[in-house]
Amino acid sequence: MKTILCFGDSNTWGYNPSNQQRFGPDERWTGVLRNQLGAGFRIIEEGLNGRTTVWDDPIEGFKNGMNYLIPCIESHKPFDLITIMLGTNDLKCRFSVSAFDIAESVGVLVRHVLQSTVGPDETSPAILLMAPPPLARLGDYDEMFEGGTEKSQRFGSYYQTKALELGCEFLDTSEFIQSSDLDGIHFEQEEHRKLGEAVARKISGIVS
């Protein structure tokens, strides 16, 4: 049995932009991934609404991905692979960080996993770094994410550079999906399906 941890934010949790509820277990991209990979794989979903890479949120609180990552991977180990898709919430103007610094921040998380012993036989697991797609039409979130749309369009190139630097696998999700115009941030159900299938294809070439 291969074990995969999917570490992310509301788009890993499965936030539905049409009704602000959660997509069902088989509708979320993580569920699609599980069904695509089959019985030989166990998928652990670790998505949190509002989660950042390394930043403490002064308004929402308890969203710092770095603070949770280590106890999370120590609790669920061992893993064969960990996917990390974070950075969208770092675009909130309250954090005042560039796309470059967001990629650097997600790199901090990757380094911690690479330096860990939570993989098979106390090695480090494989890592799939996933660049979130750019923001779409923001609507009600426009002021919260002011300036974020342009920054998000640079995620793919910066994340790919970081993945190459650190020697981990990379997936640019914008090649397969787009954020919903319903709120500019989250994925509609069809995008979850496409993303789950794309991640399954990628993982099948990494973990067998």
Task: Give the model confidence (pLDDT) of 94-107 as tens digits.
Answer: 999 999 999 999 99
Euclidean distance between the first and the last CA atom of the chain, given in angstroms as a whole number: 10
Question: At 40, is the secondary structure helix, strand, or coil?
Answer: coil
Beta carbons of 91 and 145 less than 8 angstroms apart: yes
- Name the domain count of the chain: 1
Domain at 79, CATH number: 3.40.50.1110
Cβ atoms of 137 and 149 closer than 8 Å: no
Domain that holds residue 181: 2-204
Question: What is the distance between the alpha carbons of residues 17 and 23, in angstroms, rounded to a whole number?
Answer: 10
The H or E element containing residue 167 is none
Per-residue pLDDT tens over the stretch 56-97: 999 999 999 999 999 999 999 999 999 999 999 999 999 999
Q: Where are the alpha helices (DSSP H) in 115-154?
A: 148-152
**Mean pLDDT for all residues in the chain:** 98
> What are the pLDDT digits (tens) for 148-196?
999 999 999 999 999 999 999 999 999 999 999 999 999 999 999 999 9
Predicted TM-score (pTM) of this structure:
0.98
